Structure 1
Amino acid sequence: MSGSGLDENPFGEPNWDNPFADPAIQQAQRLAGGAVVSLEDYNPFEEQAKPQLQINSTNTAAVVQPLSQNVPPPQTSSLGASAPSTSIQITSEELQRRQEELDRKAAELDRREQQLQGNVPQLNNWPPLPDNFCVKPCFYQDFEVEIPPEFQKLVKRLYYIWIFYTMTLLANVIGGLILMFHAGEIGTFFLAIFYTLLFSPASYVCWFRPAYKAFRNDSSFNFMVFFFIYFFQTLYSVVQAVGFQKMGYCGFITAISQFNGEAAGIIVGILLLNVAFCFTAVAVANVLMITKIHTIYRSTGASMAKAQAEFTTEFLRNQHVQEAASSAVNSAINSQFNNSRY
């Protein structure tokens, strides 16, 4: 009899001596023979193809076939050994960098907390000048430390308006210089220099610092000082933008008057118009800022009576006022005592 299962007696006793003599098992072994991978080349981290059970309609025996006969070649041992070490090295460097950044932030927060508690003296840092400069900083300014978080962006915008206003005054000096060479107007140039030297520090001290202290200490009195001075600053910026002749400002009137039909006059007029537009931008920014700050101030429930009470309290707490009052009282008591003796 042949080796096929068709020549055997189906009604006879099955052959249990060799379980691998089943034709289905032998066929599965022949089909999967090319996909066998040796133990040395086996890579546990590589995704292996899973066998799939398929039923042949022409044969009752179940045949196990792999999904893919092509097994990808295993990676070399040198590459597999170097990749994990490189990954670990990059991760360690990243962790070290983050740890240093966290330590830096923690030290900065600790320093600021000590400054707020008064344990560390606050050194003046504005204006930012070199250490070996003959003039030292006059004010201490730190938005993140002294200003509440909800008002930091607003106070910084006000500070940027002051910077832009100072730059506009410098541009006005350049416009006055151009006007002096073009039309011989010396007065505009020297007035522009005088206004720059006067209004640049005065604007910082008179309206920015009160606003800074108002948001820092929630001071109604400083708010009132800011509103009073900043209102006139806004009106004066409108006058600067208009630019009446021989007032020292290169505004619209002064710029338009230079358009005399000549090429030089047109160029000078265009340059002066840029200065006029800068003054206009300052005026618009002032209007928007004073409106915004006034809305915030009114929403806190502040009033003129609160500002007056705060002014009285701060006035009486002032050390110089206390010393003057003490001297006056002592003088009055001494004079009264001397008069009573004689």
Structure 2
Amino acid sequence: MSKYTSFPEPSDDANPFQDPAVTQHSSNTEYATLDLYNPFDNKTGPPPPYEATSPSAQPVPAQTPPSRTTPTEPRNYGSYNSQQTAVKATTAELLRKQEELERKAKDLERRERELDSHALGPGATRQNNWPPLPSFCPVGPCFYQDINLDISQNFQRTVTIMYYYWMFTACTLFFNLISCLAMFCVDPANGVGLGLSILWVLLSTPCSFVCWYRPVYKAFRTDSSFNFFAFFFVFFVQVVIYVIMTIGIPGWGFSGWIVSLAALKTSVPVGVIMMLSAVLFTAQTAMGVVMLKKIHSMYRQTGASFQKAQAEFATGVMSNQTVRQAAASATTGVAQGAFSGGR
């Protein structure tokens, strides 16, 4: 029993790798390898020869679930119709930009011609273009006006608003004429108001253009303190007149609120027309106050002052040829009188 219970000495056991079956199998390449050979299948004969496995016999790998799309994989950029729509939109945008560039090029060419005409000398004057009258009219334009050329970009919007505001006041006075005419058709005793409304249209429209729009235009064009002060004085008086128009004093030719409410008792349709005129007068007055305050704040930013206005007035008066001739004539007359009195 000691043979089975005690551990043998290392020298007592034979080397297992020296077994004839192992050495025969390792030296003979005709037999299958160890991973394909099962010694328990055939105990009597030698192991079967090695046969290479065919590709069809290989096990089919298990299908893996589809992975998520990575940034390197191709993406779907839309259908053909969406791509065509994008191309058309891009083409339209390019055409629009091309038209804008062409328009700017024409504008620059026009400005270059204007500058060239200015560079010819003091004798080369710009041709008047306002009011835009037809060529067959016997009376030509009286003023030159080009806001995009004369006015700096910072003040172009303000001057444009003032120009449209002047047009709005002219349309308001014309509508006031229509309302007074309607009142005259209902009540012939209102003939004085109709006559004064015609006078306001014919008198106020050109005078407002010359007396307060042109000064503000020239003030922003040349940064003139004198023109700023002229505009403030005249436009303030104009706003006061707009307030009187809005009130509507009877017999003054204005379809303000007092006259409009009184006209409702005579005729409702005529009263409604006159109330529309009163609404236009109210909007005209409110806009006038807003623009007066806005231009005054811009005037303070330009650095203009009353002293500059006085200097500009003196320079303008002395540079006028008529004024100089009158002053020279007056001085000559005074000198001659003094000389003859001394004799």
Q: Give the structure-1-normalised TM-score.
A: 0.68
Question: How many residue pairs align between the two structures?
Answer: 271
Which residue of 100, 112, 117 maps to 2:114? 112
Which residue is equivalent to 1:210? 215
Q: Which amino acid aligns with 1:284?
A: A
CA-atom RMSD in angstroms: 3.8
Q: What's the counterpart of residue 191 of structure 1?
A: 196
Match of 1:325 in 2: 327
Could you tell me which of 128, 131, 145 is aligned with 1:124? 128
- Deviation for aligned residue 1:189: 1.1
Aligned counterparts, 1:128-277, within 5 A: 128-184=132-188, 185-260=190-265, 265-277=267-279
What secondary structure is seen at the aligned counterpart in 2 of 1:57?
Answer: coil
Name the CA distance, whole Å, in 2 between partners of 1:288 and 1:99.
36
AA aligned to 2:157 is K
Structure 1's 203 and 339: CA in aligned 2 closer, same or farther, altered over 3 A?
Answer: same
Cα gap change, 1:310 to 1:318, in 2 (>3 Å): same
Q: Say which of 283, 303, 306 aligns to 1:301.
A: 303
Q: Bigger CA drift: 330-339 or 161-170?
A: 330-339
Mark the structure with the bigger radius of gyration: 2
CA contact (8 A) 2:111 2:149 kept: no
Question: Could you tell which deviates more after superposition, 219-228 or 300-309?
Answer: 300-309
Query: Which residue pairs with 2:312 in the alignment?
Result: 310
Percent identity over paired residues: 36
Structure 2: which 5+ residue stretches go unaligned?
A: 1-31, 35-48, 64-87
- What residue in structure 1 maps to residue 66 of structure 2? none
Q: Could you list the runs of 5+ residues in structure 1 that have no partner in the other structure?
A: 1-8, 16-21, 25-54, 60-86
Please give the per-residue CA displacement for 1:217-270, whole angstroms capped at 9, x wherever unaligned: 11101111110111110001000011111111111111000122xxx7122111
With the length of structure 2 as denominator, give the TM-score of the two structures. 0.68
| Structure 1 residue 113: Cα displacement | 2.8
Q: Deviations over 1:85-109 (max 9, x none)?
A: xx9xx99x96997886565344223
Displacement of 1:10 in angstroms is 8.6
**Contact between 2:232 and 2:292, CA under 8 Å: does it hold in 1?**
yes
Matched, 1:280 2:285: no
Distance 1:148 1:105 in 2: 15
User: Cα gap change, 1:272/1:208 in structure 2, threshold over 3 Å: closer, same or farther?
Assistant: same
CA distance in 2, matches of 1:14, 1:309: 119
Give 1:276 deviation, angstroms. 0.6
